[in-house]
């Protein structure tokens, strides 16, 4: 279920803000895109199981996860908060080629979020 913008009284809707995103209850996931707040129910068991299997399969590509150097070359984060200008999204899983993140860690534009 989505909530495209927020009412601010009986008049026209106002754009959603980071404060609106932070106010979403923890039993929901939320994304702020283009001034619109999108909220969804938290994932169910079937989704979480598929997510876990995907993380295991991708492990060899992330040497931090597998301890192996090959095939390597990737950094994977589970539920990172991606800050794209004024927009915030939290995908289930995101990956970057390590050369695009030279320090090998999350940056200000991709930080581990507390919200999913």
Q: What is the pLDDT of residues 26-80, one digit of tens each?
A: 888 888 898 899 998 887 888 888 888 888 888 777 766 555 556 677 888 888 8
Alpha-carbon distance values, 96 to 37, 79, 100 (Å): 26, 13, 7
Estimate to the nearest angstrom the gap between the alpha carbon of 15 and the chain centroid. Answer: 21
Q: What is the pLDDT of residues 68-115, one digit of tens each?
A: 556 677 888 888 888 888 888 888 888 888 778 755 454 434 444 434
pTM of the model: 0.59
> Residue 25 — pLDDT band, cuts 50, 70, 90?
very high
Given a contact cutoff of 8 angstroms between Cβ atoms, the answer to whether 29 and 42 are in contact is yes
Torsion angles phi and psi, residue 12, rounded to 5: -65, 160
**Closest to 37 in 3D by CA, of 23, 25, 20:** 20
Omega of the bond leading into 71 within 30 degrees of 0 (cis): yes
Given a contact cutoff of 8 angstroms between Cβ atoms, the answer to whether 89 and 33 are in contact is yes
């Amino acid at each position: 279920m989505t909530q495209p913008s927020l009412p601010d009284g009986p008049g026209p809707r106002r754009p959603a803000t980071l404060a609106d995103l932070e106010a979403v209850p923890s039993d929901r996931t939320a994304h702020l895109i283009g001034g619109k707040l999108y909220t969804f129910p938290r994932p169910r068991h079937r989704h979480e199981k598929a997510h876990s299997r995907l993380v295991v399969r991708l492990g060899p590509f992330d040497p931090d996860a597998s301890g192996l150097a090959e095939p390597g070359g990737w950094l994977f984060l589970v539920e990172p908060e991606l800050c794209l200008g004024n927009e915030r999204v939290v995908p289930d899983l995101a990956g970057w080629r390590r050369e695009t993140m030279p320090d090998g860690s999350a940056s200000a534009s991709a930080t581990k979020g507390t919200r999913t």
